[in-house]
Structures are given as structure tokens and as C-alpha cells.
Amino acid sequence: MLAQDSSPPPHGAGLPPPGDAGLPLLAAADLQDHLMVAQNDLERLQRLLTDACDQLLVHFYGASGELRTLLAQGAHGAVDGPAAGLPGALEAAQLHKAMEHMAGAITAMQFQDMASQLVAHTSRRLRNCADRLAAQAMGDDDEDGSAVVEEMPLRPNPVTQDEMDAGSVELF
Amino acid sequence: MHSILAVDDSASMRQMVSFTLKNAGFNVVEAVDGQDAYEKANSRDFNLVLTDQNMPRMDGISLTKKLRENPKFKSTPILILTTESSDQMKQAGRAAGATGWLVKPFDPAKLVEVIGKVIR
């Protein structure tokens, strides 16, 4: 049940107490609703990214496997003499080039790992804001008397990159 | 053939690291977090450990500290491959005994080159 008491909030650090100086209940509920919708959308984005990356990787490894097979057949043909349908020296060079392009794509394909860390961090922040709003506006309505508030991430977002260029290397 | 223990909680990252290192001729064993890596490291020999930093159960820096406490891993190269790029984190990695700090995303050719420099 919604309570409008004037007792200090359990986890409302930095927020004024509910009531006269606090956010009106309806406005708080509306804001909380928006935050929860944004958080749900982020979770859906996370699933989309994971699924896209899984599919990319399946096709990537499939194509790499085919290229390797062709290269191996070419090497076999070079030993036994050129055979119909097997790549010659020129084709082998092109296949090696294709393999290099595939390897180059690996840098960009790491987007899912980085994006998922960003999404998870932002999602926790949004959840914390929504929970604090609820605790602030509605007071303690939990069974044990204290509202459950998602912890704010203790550290800044670990992902500071804003492009997919290869990162730095430092040997100690 | 050199054996590398590749540690990351992201399945896609583990696959890409394995793909890159196997293509370069290394034998690769995967671990899903620091705890899993520590158990696998104790069950066989590795020439290098390549680990992520932010993972559940045990992070990369804690794994590095724990491995360095064991004489078996005193001179095993440990590279941390992570999205984290702050100097504070790098220093923590260095203090824990890491051999190097690589910021994601990695370039496959560069990763193989760096590993070639430090592997024993």
C-alpha cells in the first residue's frame, strides 16, 4: 500500500523526504514507469545484440572453415600436381587474402562484448534510479519494512571506447 | 605446441580469442571466469594465461594475484585483455603481477605478435 509518511527513506541518499519537499507521488510513479520501460528496452537490445553476434559468428566460422578447406586442398594439389577443381597458386593467394579479411573482421565483431557491458552498467543505473524514486515516493512498503533498491554501480562504466579501433597494448 | 589458457565470461570473446590463437598455431583451453581458470591452471601446464578483467566469481586481477602466489606460475606470462583502460586499473594489474595490459577490441595480428614476444 502506498504510504505518505514523513519517516526518512531507507535508501534515498541525496533525495528530499516524501511529502512537502518531495516529488509528487503521481510524477514519481510516471518517472519510475519511464525508467522501467527504458530498462526493459535495454534488456531487449542486449538480447538482439547477443543473437546478432551469435549468428554472425556461426557464418564467420563457417566461411573460415570453407576457406581453410580450399587452402588445404590447394596445398595437397600442389604436392600431387594441379588437379581439376583445386585452387592454383593465384587462387591460393586470393584465398589467403580472403582469410586476412576474415581475421580483420574479428576486431569489429567484439562489439557485442563491449556493448553488453555498457548496456548492463546503464541498466543497473536506471534500475537504481527507478527503485530510489519508488522508495522515496512510496516509502517502505516491503514485507520487512525496507524497500528493495538495486545498488548503483560502484565504479564508472568500464567501457570508455566510442569506436571499434583496436585498443592499446602495454607490456610491463 | 604452446598452450594458452584463455579466460573470458563472454562466450563470443572466448570463441574469437580461440579462433585467432588456434589459427596462429597455439593450443587453447578456455575458462569462463577466474575461478574456472584457476582450477584449470592447477590441473595442467600452460605457457601463457590471457584473461579478461571483469568477470563473475573471480576477476582477472584477482586471478593474477592468486596465480602469482603459486610458485608454479611465478614466471608464466599473464596478459589482461579488457575493456578497462584507466591508468588506475592498469597499475592494479601491474601490481598484481600481470605481464601486460591489452585494451579491447584486440587486433588478431597484434595479439599474436604480443603473445609471441612474451610466451615462454
- Residue B46 contacts residue B4 (beta carbons within 8 Å): yes
Of B114, B58, B69, B59, residue with least CA distance to B89: B59
Contact: A114, B104; criterion CB under 8 Å = yes
> CA-CA distance, A167 to B85, in Å (whole number)?
9
C-alpha cell at A101: 579479411
Contact: A113, B12; criterion CB under 8 Å = yes
> CA-CA distance, B10 to B32, in Å (whole number)?
8
- Residue A25 contacts residue A138 (beta carbons within 8 Å): yes
- Residue B36 contacts residue B62 (beta carbons within 8 Å): no
- Residue A167 contacts residue B85 (beta carbons within 8 Å): yes
* pTM check: above 0.90: no
Write the pLDDT tens digit of every residue in A61-120.
Answer: 899 888 888 888 776 655 455 555 555 666 778 888 888 888 888 988 888 888 888 898
Contact: B10, A112; criterion CB under 8 Å = yes
A154 close to B (CB below 8 A): no
A95 close to B (CB below 8 A): no
Write the pLDDT tens digit of every residue in A8-66.
Answer: 344 444 445 544 456 778 888 888 889 999 999 999 999 999 999 889 999 998 998 88
- Residue B75 contacts residue A77 (beta carbons within 8 Å): no
The reply to whether ipTM tops 0.95 is no
Nearest to A167 among B12, B15, B103 (CB): B103
User: What one-letter code names the amino acid at B57?
Assistant: R
Write the pLDDT tens digit of every residue in B36-62.
Answer: 999 999 999 999 999 999 999 999 999
Measured in angstroms, the CA of B72 and the nearest CA of chain A are apart by 20
